[in-house]
A and B are shown apart, each in its own frame.
Chain A
Amino acid sequence: MRFIDLLDFASTSLRGSRSRTLLMILAMSIGVAAVVVLTALGEGARRYVVNQFSSLGTNLVLVFPGRTETAGINPGMLLGQIPRELSLDDAEALLKSPAVKRIAPLTIGTSEISRAALNREVVVLGSTSELLTVRHMSLGQGQFLPAGDIHSSASVCVLGNKIKHELFGNESGIGAWVRLGDRRFRVIGVMARQGESMGFNTDEIVIVPVSSAHLLFNTSGLFRILVEAKSRDALEPAKRAAEKILMERHNNERDVTVVTQDAVLKTFDRILRALTLAVGGIAAISLAVAGVLIMNVMLIAVSQRVKEIGLLKALGAPAAEIRKLFFAEAILLSGIGSVAGLILGEIGVLAIGKLYPSLPVVAPWWAVLAALLTSLVTGVLFSVWPARRAARLDPVTALAGR
């Protein structure tokens, strides 16, 4: 029997029992669509996080006060010491390393901002002029923090886009005075609208020089230091240099945490990839369920078509050919089912993309391939038994319909 005729004959028997065929195709396509949609969601989440991270800046090394990854207990903790804080001089010292291009110290706090009768609570970020470049932020109007001495506490501020609108409406606001806590600041710039990034809304912050922030909050420590390495290759040297410089400055104690942004990113990447795999795998179980369904329906088909099988044998079809006929049916079913499932899944992915435009949902190619393969393999695997049963029928009893 020619291959084309095999498919043709199999398709006549599929068309012969429509509801059964549709049911099986539905089961298969739901399985495939589930794999496509769920892995697309997982992959979307992963890409979202990766994008967010790279929008934070490139070639970044982050320095935190305190040591988070040491195993065991820090002796200082037993003595009730709080970890030594990161100072502005610590931050400046990092620039000694040839691997470091720029640094931006960060301190953070909340305060009340007011202008005339208007006031609200805001997050105040203390930093330097370098923050703009290091963090890939963009300025809307006016200027950013002035460059110069890191210790100078100029009373100037840059407003987040939304804050500016709340306080000044459509006026530019540049040059006006606002009150932060009990100090007055002159507005010198407004950030461009940026929206949320890593759970931090840059539209709702106020940026002031780091020393001014220290005065405002009556502190001297830094929340973290953002270090931009000269290049991607300089990331590790910059990280080691930062560790070394800070250890020397802190009486040879390793009391800071230095991580490259890449390391953080890789961890997220790994976790989210594993998650995608896991949900994809769970969805694939529905394909196995579809496979069991196919097997059941095929077994029923065999018993319903006993006479036909007997006839085919009488007409000279060997057992192998009968098996192939049932395999062809299973392959057609799961093939059509997977294509339908792919279309269904892609529609689902498109719909999700429309609902959540910020989530870059795309089904990864390996998941699509795996779904297709799984459905074809389950289709064939679960039809082995029915096909063998059909092929083994004794022609005389089969013709008698027994």
Chain B
Amino acid sequence: MIQFENVSRSFLVGDQKVAALRDINLSIAAGDYVSIMGPSGSGKSTLLNLIGLLDRPTSGTYRLDGGDVTALNDEQQARVRSQKIGFVFQSFHLVPRLTAAMNIELPLILAGIPPAERKRRVAELLENYGLNDRADHRPDQLSGGQRQRVAIARATSMRPAVLLADEPTGNLDQTTGREVIKLLEALTEQHVALILVTHDPAIGGRAKRQLQMVDGQIISQT
């Protein structure tokens, strides 16, 4: 489903070129469970941003479901993000003034889904993630684990094919982190491809495929 061919990404810092990714070749199928590990600055987030169409490669091609998505314009990429990709962030990124339910509803609103359908899906997600009694709470009234559950519910509300998680347990304690990982892993059983960046070998080790990155390159795959 996801295919990277000789993808590179470099940044200009001052007049210096910093290569964040070098010649990445990678393919990920539907329902794959992939963890990405590596030292700080090795290019993990950059890779995730490219997969999520938040960033464009400097060179190389990226095919998603067979189509070259690097050729799409910003608006078309936005539509692909809306339909196929879900994000979970280390710092949750919930909208502070919206309730848990409204945060979950946000991608559906942006996609222009009718209110009745939205209400149905949000209710289902609140139920699935054990957030029923927290529906009307704002993020600052929720615990870290609850916030990340809201974020996962939001990321899955459009039923994406790919879920990208950049250190989703980074701001959580170990037990809560485990619970969150279990929720994410459950999604792979529904044919969602899960790509997880982590520093924690215990978490990364659970993935069926494990990528090791150093200096913008994938040095090992299992």
Query: Which residues on A are within 8 Å of B, measured CB to CB?
Result: 1-2, 5, 9, 12-13, 15-16, 307-308, 310-321, 395-396, 399
Interface contacts beyond A1-B112, A314-B54: sample of 7 additional A-B pairs, CB < 8 Å, sorted by A: A1-B109, A1-B110, A315-B154, A316-B82, A318-B79, A320-B75, A395-B55
Do B111 and A316 touch across chains, with their CB atoms under 8 A apart? yes
Do B78 and A313 touch across chains, with their CB atoms under 8 A apart? yes
Do B81 and A315 touch across chains, with their CB atoms under 8 A apart? yes
Instruction: Please name the residue on chain A nearest to B84 by beta carbon.
Output: A316
Instruction: Please tell me if B206 contacts chain A, counting CB pairs below 8 Å.
Output: no
> Known contacts A314-B87, A321-B110; is A396 also within 8 Å of B49 by CB?
yes
Do A315 and B97 touch across chains, with their CB atoms under 8 A apart? no
> Known contacts A1-B112, A396-B54, A399-B93; is A318 also within 8 Å of B78 by CB?
yes
| Contact residues, B61-98 vs A (CB, 8 A) | 74-75, 78-83, 85, 87, 89, 93, 95-98
Q: Please give, as numbers and ranges, the residues of chain B lying within 8 Å of A313 by CB-CB distance.
A: 54, 78, 81
Do B87 and A319 touch across chains, with their CB atoms under 8 A apart? no
Interface centre among A1, A314, A317, A320 (most CB of B within 10 A): A314
Interchain Cβ contacts under 8 Å between A and B, 21 examples: A1-B110, A1-B111, A1-B112, A12-B98, A12-B102, A13-B97, A312-B106, A313-B78, A314-B54, A314-B81, A315-B82, A315-B107, A316-B81, A316-B82, A316-B85, A316-B111, A317-B78, A317-B110, A395-B55, A396-B49, A396-B54
A321–B109 CA distance with the chains assembled, in angstroms: 11
Q: Please give, as numbers and ranges, the residues of chain A lying within 8 Å of B107 by CB-CB distance.
A: 315-316
A55–B93 CA distance with the chains assembled, in angstroms: 72
A311–B94 CA distance with the chains assembled, in angstroms: 8
CB distance from B54 to the nearest CB of A (A): 5
Instruction: Please tell me if B57 contacts chain A, counting CB pairs below 8 Å.
Output: no
Instruction: Please name the residue on chain B nearest to A321 by beta carbon.
Output: B110
Do A9 and B93 touch across chains, with their CB atoms under 8 A apart? no
* Contact among A12, A311, A318, A396 with B93 in the assembled complex (CB-CB below 8 Å): A311
CB distance from A247 to the nearest CB of B (A): 81
Instruction: Please name the residue on chain B nearest to A311 by beta carbon.
Output: B93
Instruction: Please tell me if B52 contacts chain A, counting CB pairs below 8 Å.
Output: yes
Q: Please give, as numbers and ranges, the residues of chain A lying within 8 Å of B89 by CB-CB distance.
A: 399
CB distance from A402 to the nearest CB of B (A): 13
Q: Please give, as numbers and ranges, the residues of chain B lying within 8 Å of A2 by CB-CB distance.
A: 109, 112
Do A312 and B110 touch across chains, with their CB atoms under 8 A apart? yes
Q: Please give, as numbers and ranges, the residues of chain A lying within 8 Å of B109 by CB-CB distance.
A: 1-2, 5, 9
Could you tell me how many residues of chain B have their Cβ less than 8 Å away from some Cβ of chain A? 29
* Contact among B95, B97, B106 with A15 in the assembled complex (CB-CB below 8 Å): B97
Which A-B residue pairs are the 3 nearest by beta carbons?
A316-B82, A16-B97, A318-B78
Fill in one digit per residue for B25-48: 1 if any A CB lies within 8 Å of its CB, else 0: 000000000000000000000000
Do A319 and B112 touch across chains, with their CB atoms under 8 A apart? no
Instruction: Please name the residue on chain A nearest to B81 by beta carbon.
Output: A316
A107–B210 CA distance with the chains assembled, in angstroms: 113
> Known contacts A2-B112, A399-B89; is A316 also within 8 Å of B79 by CB?
yes
A310–B79 CA distance with the chains assembled, in angstroms: 15
Do A396 and B110 touch across chains, with their CB atoms under 8 A apart? no
A252–B106 CA distance with the chains assembled, in angstroms: 90
A13–B96 CA distance with the chains assembled, in angstroms: 10
Instruction: Please name the residue on chain B nearest to A320 by beta carbon.
Output: B75
A12–B109 CA distance with the chains assembled, in angstroms: 14
Do A315 and B110 touch across chains, with their CB atoms under 8 A apart? yes
Do A395 and B95 touch across chains, with their CB atoms under 8 A apart? no
Q: Please give, as numbers and ranges, the residues of chain B lying within 8 Å of A316 by CB-CB distance.
A: 78-83, 85, 107, 110-111, 158
Q: Please give, as numbers and ranges, the residues of chain A lying within 8 Å of B49 by CB-CB distance.
A: 396
A399–B85 CA distance with the chains assembled, in angstroms: 16
A315–B81 CA distance with the chains assembled, in angstroms: 7
Instruction: Please name the residue on chain A nearest to B48 by beta carbon.
Output: A396
A1–B158 CA distance with the chains assembled, in angstroms: 14
Q: Please give, as numbers and ranges, the residues of chain B lying within 8 Å of A314 by CB-CB distance.
A: 52, 54, 81, 87, 93
CB distance from B155 to the nearest CB of A (A): 9
CB distance from A163 to the nearest CB of B (A): 73
A320–B158 CA distance with the chains assembled, in angstroms: 20
A314–B154 CA distance with the chains assembled, in angstroms: 12
Q: Please give, as numbers and ranges, the residues of chain B lying within 8 Å of A317 by CB-CB distance.
A: 78, 82, 110
Interface centre among A12, A13, A310, A315 (most CB of B within 10 A): A315
